[in-house]
Amino acid sequence: MGQRILRLRLFALMAIGVVGSLVNPQAHVDVNGEGAYPFRAGSDGFVNGVTWTGPASQTADYWQFFQASFDGGVQDLTSAEYLAVQYKADLGAPGLTFGLLANGDRYGTAGVADNMVEASFMDEDGTITSLGNIMYGAIWVPQGSVGAVLLPLAQLGWQWNNNSSTLAAISAFYITTNSLHNWNWAFSLGDIGVISTTGDYTSLLDLSEGPKMSSYYYDSNVMTSLKVITGYPLATGEKAFNGGQKWIGPAAASGGDSWEAMFVNFTAKVDLSAAVSLAIQYRADVGAPGLTWGIQNSGTRYSTQVDGESVSFQDEGTFTPYEITNVLYSSVNIAEGKVGMAIIPMAHLHYQFGDAMNDLTGIDNFLVTTNTKYNFAFTVSIGAIGYFDAGGAYHEITRDYYYNTGPNTTMEIIDVQDWQIATSTEYPFRLGEFEAYKNGKVWVAPATGAVENDFQTLEITFDAVADMSEASYLAIQFANTMGNPGLTYSLKAPGNNYSIAGVPDGEKVYWIQEDGDITTAAIIQYSAATTSISAGVLLIPMSALGGTTDPERASLATVSSLVVTTNRKYNYNFQAKFGEIGFYTGEIGEVGTTFTKVLDLTEDKSSQFATSGTLSNETSLIPTSERTTYGDSIINITGTGKNPSHFGIWTGGSYGEVAMVEDTYGDMAMQLKATGSNPTGDAYTAISIAGAVNGWAGNNGVTFWARNDSDGEVAFNLELDCKITASGISDRFNIKQGHRFWLYDVNTQKTSIYMTKPTATLPVGFEGWVRIPFTAFFRADWSNNGVTKEVFMTEGTSVSYLAITIHSTSYLNMPFSVNKFGAYGTTPTWSSPIVAGNSIPDLMELEA
């Protein structure tokens, strides 16, 4: 009966040195050997126990009462020598009556004559000290004491014994105290047990597996509380967040409002209607972004909407949660470096939108959202999701998968492990700002999804049929340009496809970064890999590819192409960049490993890229690098292969639209138009043209093709974010008044010089090239992150965002077209009979 972890030996009262003494004047207790302390010790010692907190000030004469019922019901304690109660004196040292309940009677310290029986206390190291004699039916434990109260059962007495009860039928343990004499106290109670005359410890209330709030009862007519001690229910250490995701914000603020979100979908709907609080494993790796936290039931959202409401946090591995912040602007900011569990009361998750009939009984996901106009340069990690019930028990919710929405944030799987493959290797493909993905393709998905299953396919044909029968890893030069779709990768061979859909979910795929470091890219779920690769190699173990067409045929001797598929019903509005392809034989990092390239893109091979779809074929392919050279100018932003959905219109500004038209040279261009003023928004229509743009630093200014498609003069501004590469900080710059810029009309072949207003102006009928010097750009008044005018577009900087703004009322419904944005290196000059000038057509080597 029980576990012998406490050895008690009784001795006759002689001249024998012992450690401490118990109340029997004819006996002593000697604690010997390992594990003398019968309870859990240390920071987890009281986990799942309770803390009882008394009134803060003196009250009327009232007996506070606490009861803890035993596991298994009534217990026979006639052979027990000592009652052992795990106890921690958190605040104060109140006088407490300890006892046992039997058949409506009480047996305990209240049945003892004053100053006749001694109580003892055992520290967690096993040392026993005296608590003094029982007085007024009570004992006093010094504040700060942590250990066990030991009471000799034979020395206690019946308080009433109205029913001639015995220790053969004990049902519960109790404590009483009078708030007239004892107030401003708090103490914690853990396990309860008894020690027999042979030294065996037997548990009466065991909390090692979880809290048992239904075992407790307390009575009070003044303010007291009984709270469960949760401990820390999650994993700790460097692998604690494995299986979770890092959510990474952009290095710089977005040009306009851009709401991003990361969702954690559950494997099944969860009833949270009776939950007390939501618990999220959270780590603020970089920054302290303002995140709106929420849950959803079939699209109906409940989130942190009310400012001033509190959010608590429990540091990893610690004992007690604490209030860390209040909701502000519907967001929660948790300081950088915090690691642990964020705890949000369910009462602080308010209905936001959706069908109000979808209540908390069917929650299917958790999410965080943020606006990257205000929150950027952050990384946070999201791990386990769970909730606490009314009894204080923690319940983990089984996660299905994570997904990211929005163009500016990315996800990265967390997988700290003892590596099965090398931690790094020599990078197998080309590197360089413009060379790495040269002649590759960006697979552009339609902006909208499909109602039915519609499988979109990209097939990349190899340079020649490849024998991959001895391959160990497939290597694909890849990048998530926009979005994080779930993609299924397959190798096509005669009569069979070898796909990640041909193996059970749970296999890992890896990412070789451009510096050669290898990390986990994704865990295959639903036969697809959802990655967040900024640049590098998607590395798929051949063991993660199984035959799907004919599983019995296992020949990889004649592989002809890579096939990538996704279902438009679930994955749309994404861009994925593909470059060269190869495979490894042998284990990476070991002697004898070889790498073979099966798609070499040192020259254009557009004919080897093809798209298709089961219901529609609306995906498109655009060049991986739009960079071309026009004489002294680098052109790297065009409309080729794009549609209006590629160009966002800031929702905080006025209204506008984008259409695709042809430019002078028959290439796709963007026609922009302000369509109305937003009475609750900014007066300007702001249209995003591009995100990150490289190669402009060190040049003289911006060049682009433009055409005035309206009947009047139109004007607009260029909004350009300049980022310092080393630090990642950026600031907004735009055109200011009183600076020269050049217009070259391809129809009249005339060059004009205009002055900024502070906008760029296109006269009626203009069609041609515009050059605006960098000297015309100044930092916006509201942007003050540290990029100065002197640093603007110098070496070591780049463009992180480009947009056009149009005053919505001045140029209402007056369209104009733009295309072929880039940077020029030489300032135009006039020719004269004496000095040869530099005209725009000569500088750009335009054909007459």
Tens digits of per-residue pLDDT, 418-443? 656 888 999 999 987 668 898 999 89
Q: Which pLDDT value is given to residue 269?
A: 95
Q: What is the DSSP letter of 563?
A: E
Q: Which pLDDT value is given to residue 162?
A: 76
* Separation of first and last alpha carbons in the chain: 102
H or E element, residue 669: strand 668-676
Q: Which pLDDT value is given to residue 3?
A: 33
Q: Which pLDDT value is given to residue 8?
A: 34
Question: How many Cα atoms sit within 13 Å of 16 on the Cβ side?
Answer: 15
H or E element, residue 842: helix 840-844
Determine the Cα–Cα distance for residues 371 and 784; give it in Å rounded to an integer. Answer: 19
Tokens 């498609």, located at residue:
709
Q: Which pLDDT value is given to residue 350?
A: 96
What is the 3 state secondary structure string of 706-768?
Answer: EEECCCCCEEEEEEEEEEECCCCCEEEEEECCCCEEEEEECCCCEEEEEECCCCEEECCCCEE
Q: Which pLDDT value is given to residue 625?
A: 63
Q: Is residue 734 a contact partner of residue 750, using CB atoms and an 8 Å limit?
A: no
CA nearest to 752, candidates 706, 711, 712: 706
Q: Which pLDDT value is given to residue 21?
A: 28
H or E element, residue 843: helix 840-844
Q: Which pLDDT value is given to residue 642?
A: 83
* Domains of the chain, first to last: 7-228 (2.60.120), 245-413 (2.60.120), 441-623 (2.60.120), 628-842 (2.60.120.260)
Low-confidence spans in the chain with pLDDT less than 50: 1-35, 832-833, 835
Residues near 578 by Cβ (< 8 Å), separated by ≥ 6? 437, 440, 441, 442, 443, 458, 460, 476, 477, 478, 564, 609, 624
Q: Which pLDDT value is given to residue 417?
A: 67
Chain segment 533-551, per-residue pLDDT in tens = 888 999 999 989 987 766 5
Q: Which pLDDT value is given to residue 836?
A: 52
